[in-house]
A and B are shown apart, each in its own frame.
Chain A
């Protein structure tokens, strides 16, 4: 199994606050890696570092190294190329207030695709990959704001897929959704695994258990334990991991 994303000795500060402390973590190709941990433990911060969304945050200093296929994402890769290769889906579904079609076509257009036929093909493929094409094929020209929360989130996944990323980052993608939409997204992620490397932040430990191959447990900015999901959830090595996953934390 190849290492797709590798984080080594990463320290991250927001002003004086150290949000991540010497994090070392490898994420493997075509696997789902879940980040778990209590709120404010740094898991969202780390996932945002992986496609440099933290660049937008003022006073954010990052030390250490993050590599994508061995290339340093802060030195060797241009930020827009990085974000094309490492797509992101956010906690709250955030479709643009545009039509379904334009939402999905936004990324390809950003990266220079102009031909209408090509865009149409990309949009259909992305919506199919996100398992939402059949639901939306008659609503391409309608505003995405009229969709249900679950549909919006899958549309956002389709939008991220449209730029043909290699890695998909998801920051608590189902925390705002009902159980049925949640299970649809979980199904979707399981099927996307064969083509993409997926990293997901989740508060729902059952979800991490259901869908991820690897799990990393964060506490106060440190990775306490990471490894095979089944092992972490059946036989954690660290007492803090055990306390957290068995719900006896804090």
Chain B
């Protein structure tokens, strides 16, 4: 045994001392002309990645450079005046608006998706019609939703230009998005899980809520994050439905102004361009924060559901 060990040690030692002169057979040294097309493809791919990252970096850095110097305490005063152009009311409104719109669209969207995937047969005609409608809806410009919201919530239901009208308009706007992504996420859950659950005597309700939905959460979350992006960035649909009053509303039926609308108003007034950039910085941070928060919530939900 001992002898063998020393032999092995010697072998390893000698291997280390002498460099192996052979060429590694997997080295990329020998590139033939055949490979030129693959190299070109590789270049194109890298170029794509570079351009994407560069564009994003440019925008972010540009906004930061232009905006950060103008972030002053006065921007965060609770009440907006035309002097301080405080973004605080708009910030709070944005959070409120996002929360209301998301809650409505997520609940309806997820349940609709559950119905379409779990309670109707695969290849059902109705399902494909609904899916097609949802896809079409998600392609409609937001101003059309704004008009609809104005006609229906503001005028027909007499809710006036308000937080509620705006939030529900945004909810309708993001509904197809959340429904479609949830649908895809549910379809992606392996049937084996459903079989296993049914096989243990669980009913469809328990199967959906304890097995299928928890597995689909990452997919659903992706949809929610996209929806958040659309809600936070939306201005056109809100101008007609939620209005532009830069004040934290007392009731759901008061007009509000979200950050995006706030920026739109500031920019169109043309008097506070620097503050507009500062607001943009805050909006950016807000989006990042909301996304992080929803990830965290989903993570906790996943954990909770799996108990």
Contact = CB atoms under 8 A, between A and B. Distances in A.
Interface in A30-82: 51, 53, 56, 58, 79-82
Given A102-B307, A107-B201, A90 B206 contact: no
Contacts of A51: 199
Interface stretch (B1-9, B50-58, B208-216, B246-254): B208-216
Interface residues of A, number: 29
A98 interface: yes
Nearest to A51: B199
A214 interface: no
B126 interface: no
Interface stretch (B72-80, B158-166, B189-197, B260-268): B189-197
Most chain B beta-carbon neighbours within 10 Å: one of A96, A106, A156, A163 = A96
Contacts of B190: 94
A97 B214 CA distance: 9
Interface in A92-124: 92, 94-99, 102, 106-107, 110-111
Nearest to A156: B196
Nearest to A79: B201
Interface residues of B, number: 22
Nearest to B121: A58
B198 interface: yes
A226 interface: no
Instruction: Say whether chain B's binding surface is mostly helix, strand, loop, or mixed.
Output: helix
B267 to A, nearest CB: 47
Interface in B104-123: 121-122
B200 A110 contact: yes
B202 interface: yes
Interface in B52-106: none
Interface in A120-167: 156, 159-160, 163
Nearest to B206: A110
A101 B211 CA distance: 15
A107 B121 CA distance: 26
Nearest to B199: A88
Nearest to A88: B199
B203 interface: yes
B136 to A, nearest CB: 28
A203 B132 CA distance: 43
B198 A53 contact: yes
A225 B210 CA distance: 42
A246 to B, nearest CB: 34
Interface string B250-291: 000000000000000000000000000000000000000000
B307 A83 contact: no
B156 interface: no
Given A83-B201, A163-B201, A90 B121 contact: no
B306 A160 contact: no
Interface in B173-226: 190, 192-203, 206, 210-211, 214-215
Given A99-B306, A102-B307, A94 B201 contact: no
A81 B210 contact: no
A106 B211 CA distance: 10
Contact of B192 (A81, A82, A90, A111): A90
Most chain A beta-carbon neighbours within 10 Å: one of B121, B200, B214 = B200
Given A97-B215, A102-B306, A110-B206, A90 B196 contact: yes
A163 to B, nearest CB: 6
B60 to A, nearest CB: 35
Most chain B beta-carbon neighbours within 10 Å: one of A92, A107, A163 = A107
A83 B306 CA distance: 22
B301 to A, nearest CB: 14
Contacts of A53: 195, 198-199
A96 B200 CA distance: 12
A79 B214 CA distance: 25
Given A58-B121, A98-B306, A99-B306, A80 B202 contact: yes
Contacts of B203: 80
Nearest to B204: A56
Contacts of A87: 199-200
A94 B193 CA distance: 6
Contacts of B202: 80, 106-107, 110
B200 A163 contact: yes
Given A102-B306, A106-B210, A83 B200 contact: yes
Contacts of B211: 96, 106
A163 B194 CA distance: 17
Given A58-B121, A102-B307, A110-B206, A96 B201 contact: no
10 contacts: A58-B122, A79-B201, A80-B202, A90-B199, A96-B193, A102-B307, A106-B197, A106-B200, A110-B200, A111-B201
Given A80-B203, A81-B201, 17 more contacts: A53-B195, A53-B199, A56-B195, A58-B121, A82-B201, A83-B201, A90-B192, A90-B195, A94-B192, A97-B193, A102-B306, A102-B307, A106-B197, A106-B211, A110-B200, A110-B201, A111-B201
The 4 tightest CB contacts between A and B, nearest first, are A94-B192, A83-B201, A107-B200, A80-B201
